[in-house]
Amino acid sequence: MSFWAIVFWLSAGLLVYAQLGYPLLLAALARRLPPSPDPAAADPPTVSLIVAAYDEEAVIAAKVANALALDYPRARLQVVIAADGCNDATVARARAVGADLVLDLPRGGKIRAQDAGVAESQGAIVAFSDANSAWEPDALRILVGAFADPAVGYACGQVRFCNDAGTNQEGLYWRYEMGLRALESKLGSITAGNGAIYATRREAYFEVDPIMGHDLSFPFNMVKRGWRAVYVPAARATEKMVPSIEGEFARKRRMMSHTWPIVLRGGLLSPRGYPPLYALMIASHRVLRYGAPFLHVAALISSALLLRSSPVYAIAFALPVVLLAAALLAPVLPLRPLLVARYYVLTTVSVAAGLWDWLRHGTPAGWEPAEGTR
């Protein structure tokens, strides 16, 4: 077998495994496990719900009202707004609608605002949410129930994206992602969380580099520290989706500029502290996911160089060309299959674009909310 044939079959095989083989492997392993017992009931712990907010005057009152309306003992819930150098009325509005603690902080980015919120809060459990997300009434009670298991240090809930009029296909991807997350949680620990609804034990919380978000940093570091990081799908939140695929590309590009530092220098690639199955999850769900743009390029170039040697390579070369053509046609002919193709292409490119942004000029600790999500 020639060098380019090896490149093709390796890159194509890893792409197929990452998208299809890995979910099938998780499902097969999960079927062999007995049903997990529900954690024993316990008195509800004290919880500090921390919301880092930067210029969120349009949504902060609704967020505080949503938090105060949660089905959780009021005396055991502290609502904390960590205002990150706001230039608008976020602080005044949060105080006016009854947040228990409002921190008017200098601009330092979301992570440092969350750190300050934890330092000033009182709850045994520290929970976190975005300013533009709304929790269902029972979400906190269900989320906190995961900590009845003493091995659990981190728990995240399910965020559902709302978008009635836009053309973004994030919901389709997110359902796939949540299916993987549920299987990972059943087998051990998840490999990533989300910013809309999650919590940690106070003693498990740790500070990370301000350019490295909790969504990716917390789960694998919890495992390295001996905790489980679990997914609690019955704890639900909703969040407004970026209305367009192009807007979602910009959002994911910004997210990936924060992700690559975690991957390359934040400890994710180091297997130290990972049980064998979790190491496989990290390699399959994270490393291969972030390597997808480069695997696609390798498969495309190698198949082009092997076109004349076999019809298999001609078909392999034609498939990404058709995918790109469909993605380019989607703005003119917004049919669902074409929109899905455009979403896949742009979000795959966003991974490489985020790496380019980080390598070229670094990543700021703070950022502006994505347009259309407030």
Residue 34: the pLDDT is: 77
- CA separation for the pair 218, 255 (Å, rounded): 15
Give the tens place of pLDDT for each residue, 183-216.
999 999 999 999 999 999 999 999 999 999 899 9
pLDDT band at residue 164 under the 50/70/90 scheme: low
Closest CA to 69 of 35, 97, 42: 97
Closest CA to 164 of 66, 240, 248: 240
Residue 103 lies inside a defined structural domain of this protein:
yes
Residue 305 lies inside a defined structural domain of this protein:
no
Residue 102 lies inside a defined structural domain of this protein:
yes
pLDDT band at residue 32 under the 50/70/90 scheme: confident
Residue 274 lies inside a defined structural domain of this protein:
no
Q: What integer best gives the mean pLDDT of the chain?
A: 92
pLDDT band at residue 166 under the 50/70/90 scheme: very low
| Position 40 pLDDT exceeds 90 | no
Residue 253 lies inside a defined structural domain of this protein:
no
Residue 1 lies inside a defined structural domain of this protein:
no
The domain that holds 207 is classified in CATH as 3.90.550.10
Residue 110: the pLDDT is: 93
Residues of the domain holding 219:
47-243
Token pair in block for residue 354:
């985020």
pLDDT band at residue 172 under the 50/70/90 scheme: confident
Residue 74 lies inside a defined structural domain of this protein:
yes
Backbone angles phi, psi at 242, to 5 degrees: -60, 125
DSSP class of 369: P
Three-state DSSP string of 190-257: CCCCCCCCEEEEHHHCCCCCCCCCHHHHHHHHHHHCCCEEEEEEEEEEEEECCCCHHHHHHHHHHHHH
Number of structural domains the chain divides into: 1
Give, rounded to a whole angstrom, the gap between the first and last alpha carbons of the chain.
Answer: 54
Residue 33: the pLDDT is: 81
- CA separation for the pair 244, 327 (Å, rounded): 14
pLDDT band at residue 165 under the 50/70/90 scheme: low
Residue 248 lies inside a defined structural domain of this protein:
no
